[in-house]
Amino acid sequence: MLSQTISHTLRTPLYERHRFFHARMADVGGWELPTAYGSQIEEHHVVRADAGMFDLSHMCVVDIHGTDVRMFLGKLLANDIGKLKTQGKALYSCMLNNEGGVIDDLVVYYLDDEYFRIVLNAHTASGDIQWIHSQIVATNSSVTLVPRRQDLVTGDAEPLAIIAVQGPNARERVFRAIPSTHTAETVRPFNSITVHDAAVGELMLARTGKTGEDGFELIMPAKHAAQVWDMLRSAGIHATGLDAWETLRLEAGMHLNGRDMDPQTSPFDAGLGWSVDLGSERDFVGKAALCTRRQTRKFVGLAFEGAAVARTHSQVTSHQGEVIGKVTSGTYSPTLRIAIALALISPDIQFGSYVSVDVYNNRVSARVVRPPFVRDGSPVQQHDHA
């Protein structure tokens, strides 16, 4: 679970809505956020079977403008920005340091030839922005960076909020809540559209998310966030907390920066090699290091026989007692009804084999599997034995 003791924290534009509906609030990376509104397990199943919504306004939208913005992003990001040719198209990429380690993983949207939008992870946002500014200086670029999160916004830029609506009925419910000339079928995966609603102004609907379910991430002016939240609730979308988001993303085998990867982890170690463009002549930050960096770890899933959850950093050992890696994220899977984990282990360990994990001072056996554990709401059948 994500819950911790609340201290001095930041609050999103939806804070009062969460309190009104009696959400359990906790400090999540410096933000006072809803971890659950009732049963975490029920909220998890609602997203798998119907539609749930999450307040992700602690994540950071950054708009980037300029005549050479495409060239700049081509140097900044490991994935090929040249893939973005259609307005609204999205691209997942890692942003690397000079040593080829992951500073952040992010989604970038092409809005026009001089305007892109990036969504950064919450806890790395401030450092990410400093890094991007340093690269603007290093490349002598003329691009302008405009943070849109309420605590980072400057000048006359309007702060934005993010609501993720996820689940098999998510898209249909969103268009029921927010009338549009578009339909649930017109927005393709990893694409976005902009909807103009008379009541709440401009909303960006991006068909992205980290739950393993279909749906949208809605980006809107922070001043309209509560109204949009109420419109979505009126369309039958359930309010869900971040504890359910955590179990959903782990079942889907999706990474969380700071746990499953960090600046010391290469995208190849983290299982994100598919998002790195080494095949072209394009240079980007970290490319030279990746070309010579040997893979030292492999990103895997661990399926346990029981319900005891392994903590982050729990040691993974072979049955001969040799330390071969560590757990990066662990949880109880409501869909599978067993404990699961993500881990970085020796690349020599084969899928289908068994390892031992330190769980509350006990050595527990787990099977090494390929993430995800759940796809389209159903358990993935694992057939890896070599």
Taking Cα atoms as reference points, which of 231, 243, 217, 241 lies closest to residue 160? 217
Residues 6+ away with beta carbon under 8 Å from 179: 197
Taking Cα atoms as reference points, which of 26, 63, 28 lies closest to residue 148? 63
Helices (H), the chain: 15-20, 40-49, 69-76, 125-138, 170-177, 225-234, 242-251, 287-292
Would you tell me how many other CB atoms lie within 10 Å of the CB of residue 6? Answer: 12
Binding residues for substrate: 217
Binding residues: 217
Helix axes 125-138 and 69-76, enclosed angle (nearest 10) = 110
Is the Cβ–Cβ distance between 248 and 166 less than 8 Å? Answer: yes
Q: Could you give the 3-state DSSP secondary structure of residue 220?
A: strand
Separation of first and last alpha carbons in the chain: 33
Is the Cβ–Cβ distance between 149 and 12 less than 8 Å? Answer: no
Measured in whole angstroms, the distance separating CA 153 from the mean position of its chain's CA atoms is 22
Residues 6+ away with beta carbon under 8 Å from 166: 47, 51, 52, 53, 54, 209, 211, 213, 214, 215, 248
Can you tell me which residue has the tokens 């939806």?
14
Sign of CA dihedral 109, 269, 127, 31: positive
Q: Could you give the 3-state DSSP secondary structure of residue 123?
A: coil
